[in-house]
Amino acid sequence: MELLQYFPDVLTPWHLAILSLGMIGGLLLGATPGLSPTLAVALLIPFTFNMEAAAALILLGAVYTGTVAGGAISAILLGIPGAPANIATTLDGHALAKRGRAAEALHYCFLSSFVGGLIGILVLIFFTPPLAEVALRFGPSHLFWVAILGVTVIGSLGSKSVVKGLLAGAIGLWLATIGYDPVLGEERFVYSDHLTGGINIIAALVGLFAIPQVLGMLEGAGSTGPTATYQLESHGLAASIAATLSRWQALAIGSVVGIFIGLIPGAGGQVAGLVAYDQARKLSPNRDSFGKGEPEGIIAAESANNAMVGPSLVPLLTLGVPGSPTAAVLLGGLLIHGLFPGPNLFTLHAEVTWTFIGSLLLGQVLMLLFGLYISRHSRLVMQVPAHYMAAAVTVLAVFGAYSVQNSLSDVIVMLTLGTGMYFAAKVGVSPAPVVLGIILGPIAEMNYTQGKLIAEVGEGMARYFLTGPLNITLIGLCLASVGYSLLAELRSARPRRAQA
């Protein structure tokens, strides 16, 4: 097998050093709110111009893997996702940390990330050709229904009320329309010059999660600080490994969803964790404990986030079609070094390609080791006084929002959305559905518009969007997801009525 033939190249001192530094840097960058995997990889590409192709790809791949996992660190310790992909991790990870079990939550995070990431890379190694053909079958109509499937998660995401969850998601979908139409270029809902470019997802993410935390800390009711809740509990690594493996159903759901979402060109990893979390909650016997510190929620979300990494490279390496925004940036890294995606990449440049894939495999092990080491020191963050933590989070939030486009408007939008969410949270509205609406809105709108243009010159709207095995399957999943959420809401309401 070619991987075994070229794997020794990964183990050279130079390549190992690059892989280790990239992984450590990726974990630290991922833990910084606002610095998404896409931004981290994009910032590093100029530094790879004078590097050999294999070393450059190893560095970019290590940072990609590290930032995906590292985003869960701030999600668990601060309640602020490092990137959109870590939104679902926040729901149970931070709740578990507030009960003094931060190290345990991080153990679940990195162990499940390792399992999911390993499975995803093995899929990349063994099933690349047939999976590339599957990825080619997804057109605008299918991507539209994938986005709608994500929208169906909104009703139960982080909210006790389906109505409040759907309302928050609808607000997010509306916020996503602000700015210019992505296809027709028309201006919409631009009430201020600061909204001309629309609402940047990173600015929205940081604002909706970070600013309410800061205001809560300053109010004296924040979740971070040396309070009685933070009597930190010790938790052995062996116990965490056993607990993670015993929740094999959440691991399986996360891995399968991550692989599926990663293969779909353009869907993005932010959808994988949310869909996996929702499916794990629906199929779990402990569904009522989700959102309150349930380990299955962390395991499903993080295994999906990392299982997505390998499959997202399948359409990239074989077809030149990125499976995620970060994979699109990696495409630029390939082209800069004269590597053109396609079948010839695995023949003419076999040494570089298989060395890169081998480094992703070894990178999962390094990610696990470095992540578990970080977990041992989580208590240092959890014991910081609230007023110091509020100041630190504010600085990180402003830096994260400004650094994406070097725009003061993004900072103003971040502060405005965050202040509004602080008051909305007091009536039981969760920020997660709002962010999910902002993420999925452009995906659904763009693919609907493109599909509409195709359908009007072809077989018509109904036939294009509602027929075909793949469309029907996705529509069925959407209906099943909505139906289950409504049934679960009705079931939970019956005991309350009986008590009343």
How far apart CA 305 and CA 296 sit, in angstroms, is 14
Q: What Cα–Cα distance (Å) separates residue 235 from each residue in 112, 367, 420?
A: 17, 20, 37
Tokens standing for residue 419:
């202040």
Backbone torsions φ then ψ of 323, nearest 5 degrees: -90, -5
- For residue 98, the 8-state DSSP code is H
How far apart CA 500 and CA 140 sit, in angstroms, is 49
How far apart CA 67 and CA 475 sit, in angstroms, is 33
How far apart CA 305 and CA 257 sit, in angstroms, is 9
One pLDDT digit (tens) per residue for the chain, 500 residues: 677 787 888 889 999 999 999 999 888 888 877 677 877 887 788 788 888 888 999 999 899 888 888 888 888 888 888 777 788 888 889 888 888 888 888 999 999 999 999 999 998 888 776 766 666 677 888 888 888 887 777 766 656 677 788 888 889 889 988 988 876 778 888 888 888 888 888 788 888 888 888 888 787 644 444 333 444 555 678 888 898 899 899 999 999 999 888 877 665 556 788 888 888 888 888 887 888 888 999 999 999 988 988 888 887 787 676 666 777 778 878 888 888 877 677 777 888 888 888 999 999 999 999 988 887 776 666 667 777 778 888 887 888 788 778 888 889 999 999 999 999 888 888 887 888 888 888 888 888 888 888 888 888 888 899 888 889 998 998 888 778 777 777 776 666 566 65
Backbone torsions φ then ψ of 180, nearest 5 degrees: -105, 140
SS3 of residue 187 by DSSP: strand
Query: Which of 107, 112, 77, 108 lies closest to 95 in space, CA to CA?
Result: 77
> Per-domain residue ranges for the chain?
2-491
- Please say whether the beta carbons of 88 and 253 come within 8 A: no
How far apart CA 233 and CA 445 sit, in angstroms, is 46
How far apart CA 180 and CA 189 sit, in angstroms, is 9
The region that residue 218 occupies, defined by phi over 0 for left and psi between -120 and 50 for alpha, beta otherwise, is alpha
Tokens standing for residue 48:
């790879």
The region that residue 236 occupies, defined by phi over 0 for left and psi between -120 and 50 for alpha, beta otherwise, is beta
